[in-house]
Structure 1
Amino acid sequence: MLLTSLDPRINRLQVPADWPNSAVKKQLDQWATYEVFTQKRENTPYAYVGPVHAPDLEVAFVFAKEQYSRRAACFGLWVVKTQDIQHTPYVDDNESVFNLLNIPAPATASEQSEAFEIFMLKKRGKAHTHAGTVLASGYQNALAQAKQQFGEQIPCVNIWVAPAAKILKSSEEDKDWWLTLNEKKYREPVAYKVLDKINAFKNRTTNTP
């Protein structure tokens, strides 16, 4: 006996009526999620733009490029698997999460240290933004290093920590991906110089006797 629904998509799946007790769900039968960060202008921090679903990191990078940088200004792209990010609890706006967490004192860098990227959320409803890189022996130590380096920045309502080695990053050579060909400048709003045309129209109407 099959599960019936008003949704025809459920009916097409032919799900047993006693699901989920009828069978054990297979492992890894769905794509993982990856988080995407973009750099909208040169020499500005990377900011979080959203997730993608993909079978691996390389394909996630391709999906992220197509989804988040085709129609928006972009100078760089970072992609990391969701499970490789650890985060703090959220606090209220105008507070610092660093002050509310029991973060141990940062240990000195050792041979086992690796680079971690720190992303900070300054206000709810905004996007996590890359604050900087720390060298640490693990996530907790990275958080301690982040408090030492960025703890004075208020407000900070949430922090994401990710190993730099787990992030797939575009390189300097990849920046030409986002260049607009001369024959396709019409795709960029700035090419229309709308404000110049408006000002010229205003000048004509103002000077008309």
Structure 2
Amino acid sequence: MSLTSLDPRVTRLNLPEEAPAIEPKPELDQFETYEAFHQKKEGAAHTYVGPVHAPNEDVAFLFAKEQYSRRFPCVGLWIARTEHIQVTPYAGDGENVYEMMRVKEPTERSEEAEAYEIFHLKKRGKAHTHAGRVMATSYQEALQEARQAFGEKGPIVNVWVVKSKHVLQSAEEDKDMWTTIPEKKYREAIAYKVMDKITKYKEEHKTTAPQ
């Protein structure tokens, strides 16, 4: 029996009155989302610049470098998978989200602590900036430690918390990948001194083709 509707267009579709069983959706074929943070100069805090979609964090790092570090100064890059970042509620501009949250004081740890990175948003419309690192046994405890260490540096509209082990960080020896040759005035892709790194990578991963 067909479905009858007040909308004649629906009636003309001759849809069955009983809805068919819904089949489970197939796994998504899109790449995962990663968040990128860049460092403008030595000693500066890493600042959020935007997301990238990639199959893994190494490719995400490459995409973020090409997308976010070619047209402005950059000496360092951090990448974190979006699902690994815990986000607090948002406060209003001029408010401190730590003061609005019910955050318990840190207690004596019964588990081994690990490092967490803390990012603060000072004003809506701006970017999250790295505030520092804390040691904790959970995201909640990391937020507690962050409140004690950085909570008075308000206003703080929002906080991101991510385990340090989930952040892919550019190494000290990789900083020359953003250096351009003297002949190049702008940050063009061809100007990056990365050919030696590519050659080294090929040599280290060279395999013998099957006969």
Superposition TM-score tier, normalisation by shorter sequence: 0.7 to 0.9
Q: 2:63 maps to which residue?
A: 63
Shift of 1:107: 2.8
- Supply the AA of the counterpart residue of 2:29: D
Q: 1:187 maps to which residue?
A: 186
CA distance in 1, matches of 2:153, 2:78: 24
Q: 1:123 maps to which residue?
A: 123
Listed as ranges, the gaps of 5+ residues in structure 2 are 1-20, 188-211
Deviations 1:147-193 (A, max 9, x none): 00011111000000000000000011010000010121x216xxxxx
CA distance in 2, matches of 1:110, 1:143: 17
Structure 1 contact 95–155 (Cα < 8 Å) conserved: yes
Q: What secondary structure is seen at the aligned counterpart in 1 of 2:143?
A: helix
Given the two structures, how large is their TM-score scaled by the length of structure 2?
0.76
> Do the aligned partners of residues 179 and 108 (structure 1) sit closer, same or farther apart at CA in structure 2, a change above 3 Å counting?
farther
Q: What secondary structure is seen at the aligned counterpart in 2 of 1:183?
A: coil
CA distance in 1, matches of 2:110, 2:181: 47
Deviations 1:45-102 (A, max 9, x none): 0000000001111111111111111121101000000000001000101110000000
Asked if residue 29 in structure 1 is aligned to residue 32 in structure 2, the reply is no
Shift of 1:28: 3.9
- Supply the AA of the counterpart residue of 2:60: A
Given the two structures, how large is their TM-score scaled by the length of structure 1?
0.77
Shift of 1:29: 1.7
CA distance in 2, matches of 1:56, 1:146: 29
Q: How does 1:14-93 map to 2 (within 5 A)?
A: 24-93=24-93
Q: 1:95 maps to which residue?
A: 95
Shift of 1:24: 3.3
Task: Note the aligned Cα RMSD (angstroms).
Answer: 2.1
How many residues matched?
170
Listed as ranges, the gaps of 5+ residues in structure 1 are 1-20, 189-209
Moved more, 68-77 or 106-115: 106-115
Shift of 1:111: 5.3
Q: What secondary structure is seen at the aligned counterpart in 1 of 2:183?
A: helix
Seq. identity, %: 54
Q: What secondary structure is seen at the aligned counterpart in 1 of 2:98?
A: helix
